[in-house]
Structure 1
Amino acid sequence: MKFAGTDRYVASDELTLAVNAAITLQRPLLIKGEPGTGKTLLAEELARGLGAPLIPWHIKSTTKAQQGLYEYDAVSRLRDSQLGDPRVQDVRHYIRRGKLWDAFASEQRVVLLIDEIDKADIEFPNDLLLELDRMEFHVYETGETVRAVQRPIIVITSNNEKELPDAFLRRCFFHYIAFPDRDTLQRIVDVHYPDIDKDLVARALDMFFDLRDVPGLKKKPSTSELIDWLKLLLADQIPASALLERDPAKAIPPLYGALVKNEQDVQLLERLAFMHRRGNRA
């Protein structure tokens, strides 16, 4: 099973090498990078490219590792026992399988996405060490051991909100998705908008990279935000000539709300534009 990108996902040579190395080593692939660089999309397109089912597990701050294995609903069982429900005789009625169980039980090799693992508690990665290493776990309520029928391809994403434990990192193959260069971004745009005006794209990329270079910007616009911005430019039929002004200190990009996502950065751009206008008048 080899991954080489898809018609909807432009993968660099380094990323392709990392994906295939993780598959060969049978290690989880830990992907880091700026938000919006396509980490989650990688897992989706990896599954599509390999013709494998995708099992996504989106992590929240309240997510516990045990939820990925299974959850035992003792409260429902107690309530049913009080009502005389005969199902209480079989504890399996009160066990809800988690995403790892689904992945382990699949007859077909799947891609398991553990998305934004850094959102969870710091102990979350450690609590999955044994299960990800041995590809099995024990169900204490039934006494059974669940083992992977086919070892899943595991993709773990992180936005670097917190450091991950060394013991966990040792079990992963790591890759950092660097922000794409201009040529790669051009290819990504071509995938999403094959018929877009080339002059519009060229000017949009000029303005986009200038915006990312503004000193003091709290959140730089990402690849996904560029795609959204281009979609708006096309929908509003904004011509390439409207993007002639490349210096972000002189003009705020049209429809900037797709690129700039907090008030501090908006105020920074407005101050730069104001200072430039005042300098011109002087």
Structure 2
Amino acid sequence: MRNGGSDFQSTESYIVSSELALAVNAAVTLEKPLLIKGEPGTGKTRLAEELAQSLNTELLRWHIKSTTKAQQGLYEYDAVSRLRDSQLGSEKVHDIRNYIKPGKLWQAFTAEKRPVLLIDEIDKADIEFPNDLLHELDQMEFAVYETGEQIKAVHRPIVIITSNNEKELPDAFLRRCFFHYIRFPDEATLAAIVQVHFPQIQQRLLSVALEIFFELREAPNLKKKPSTSELLDWLKLLLAEDISPETLKAAHEQGGLMPLFGALLKNEQDVTLVEKLAFMARRQGR
């Protein structure tokens, strides 16, 4: 990694495209958050895990929900506990710091070694959430109003922000990020990813499975395209059930649903659609 190490790249356990590797290194060089978008299941979260591992540093995960507020990433002040302790005559009440819980940004700012901070699925939060973090991510500091402290980053953390594109992010926030969209892997890259997870897989089985998988992804009007993670789940089941390439290919050529389709199709509309397409293919003598 530049600015303190070698460039981020593929390892024996993780395949990364050259474009994504360049994006990671560019974000680190610019000292800007890396905003990663892409289909669910394309490895956005895994990227932060692998980056932290490659740097031998701590990964701090802040998983965002619809109810998450930006303030929670800084700290939370537990006024209720302080009131209760006051009523009970506890000595703790004399130090307000006993009721302040540092958030993930506080932890990242005060880490002894430069950490990787993952802000996962930022698009789940309220539309104002990204704007509420602009100053803190830009200046790498914030004030604790209850104590008057100023928390400033000892080492500027490497910030990875993921989004599934559920809602648009504000322009002011986007300007402060380096952006990369993870394109869905092509067949060769996907085969390499599979080999990492299942090094003993038969090439014939892998070839047939990938053919079916990509054909499924290209089906028109599919509500939820299967992702890389779902392909890996499906292959794990095929291997566990010892399903042969011939059995898999026969089911495909006969125009039926693929074995163990529940790993790939996640709702009844898509199951019905694939069944309908298979029926039409049989009628056409495919």
TM-score, normalised to structure 2's length? 0.95
CA contact (8 A) 1:126 1:167 kept: yes
Residue correspondence of structure 1 range 10-159 to structure 2 within 5 A: 10-159=15-164
CA contact (8 A) 1:39 1:157 kept: yes
CA contact (8 A) 1:210 1:248 kept: no
Instruction: Tell me which of 152, 161, 164 is aligned to 2:169.
Output: 164
Pairwise CA RMSD of aligned residues?
A: 1.3
Deviation at 1:242, TM superposition (A): 1.4
Secondary structure at 2:181 match in 1: strand
Taking the aligned partners of 2:230 and 2:214, their CA distance within structure 1 comes to 12
Secondary structure at 1:71 match in 2: strand
CA contact (8 A) 1:5 1:45 kept: no
Q: Which residue of structure 1 aligns with residue 4 of structure 2?
A: none
Q: Which residue of structure 1 aligns with residue 267 of structure 2?
A: 262
Deviation at 1:272, TM superposition (A): 2.1
Secondary structure at 1:244 match in 2: helix
CA contact (8 A) 2:251 2:259 kept: no
CA contact (8 A) 1:232 1:255 kept: yes
CA contact (8 A) 2:251 2:257 kept: no
Deviation at 1:52, TM superposition (A): 1.2
Q: What amino acid is aligned across from residue 272 of structure 1 in structure 2?
A: L
Taking the aligned partners of 1:147 and 1:163, their CA distance within structure 2 comes to 29
Secondary structure at 1:174 match in 2: strand
Instruction: Tell me which of 212, 216, 226 is aligned to 1:211.
Output: 216
Q: How many residues align?
A: 280
CA contact (8 A) 2:222 2:273 kept: yes
Taking the aligned partners of 1:169 and 1:248, their CA distance within structure 2 comes to 47
Deviation at 1:62, TM superposition (A): 0.5
CA contact (8 A) 1:6 1:45 kept: no
Deviation at 1:278, TM superposition (A): 4.7
Instruction: Tell me which of 226, 229, 233 is aligned to 2:234.
Output: 229
Q: What amino acid is aligned across from residue 109 of structure 2 in structure 1?
A: F
Secondary structure at 1:252 match in 2: coil
Sort the Cα spacing of 1:253 and 1:96 in 2 relative to 1 into closer, same or farther, 3 A: same
Q: Which residue of structure 2 aligns with residue 182 of structure 1?
A: 187
CA contact (8 A) 1:104 1:135 kept: yes
Instruction: Tell me which of 197, 202, 213 is aligned to 1:197.
Output: 202
- After TM superposition, the structure 1 stretch with the greater mean CA deviation from structure 2, 109-118 or 237-246, is 237-246
CA contact (8 A) 2:254 2:282 kept: no
Deviation at 1:122, TM superposition (A): 0.3
CA contact (8 A) 1:5 1:46 kept: no
Taking the aligned partners of 1:48 and 1:33, their CA distance within structure 2 comes to 22
Sort the Cα spacing of 1:75 and 1:249 in 2 relative to 1 into closer, same or farther, 3 A: farther
Secondary structure at 1:96 match in 2: strand
Deviation at 1:130, TM superposition (A): 0.1
Secondary structure at 2:40 match in 1: coil
Q: What amino acid is aligned across from residue 126 of structure 1 in structure 2?
A: N
Any gaps of 5 or more consecutive residues in structure 2? 2-6
Query: Between the two proteins, what is the percent identity of the paired residues?
Result: 69
Deviation at 1:247, TM superposition (A): 5.7
Taking the aligned partners of 2:42 and 2:279, their CA distance within structure 1 comes to 32
Deviation at 1:6, TM superposition (A): 2.4
Taking the aligned partners of 2:58 and 2:88, their CA distance within structure 1 comes to 40
Taking the aligned partners of 1:273 and 1:102, their CA distance within structure 2 comes to 53
- After TM superposition, the structure 1 stretch with the greater mean CA deviation from structure 2, 245-254 or 171-180, is 245-254
TM-score, normalised to structure 1's length? 0.97
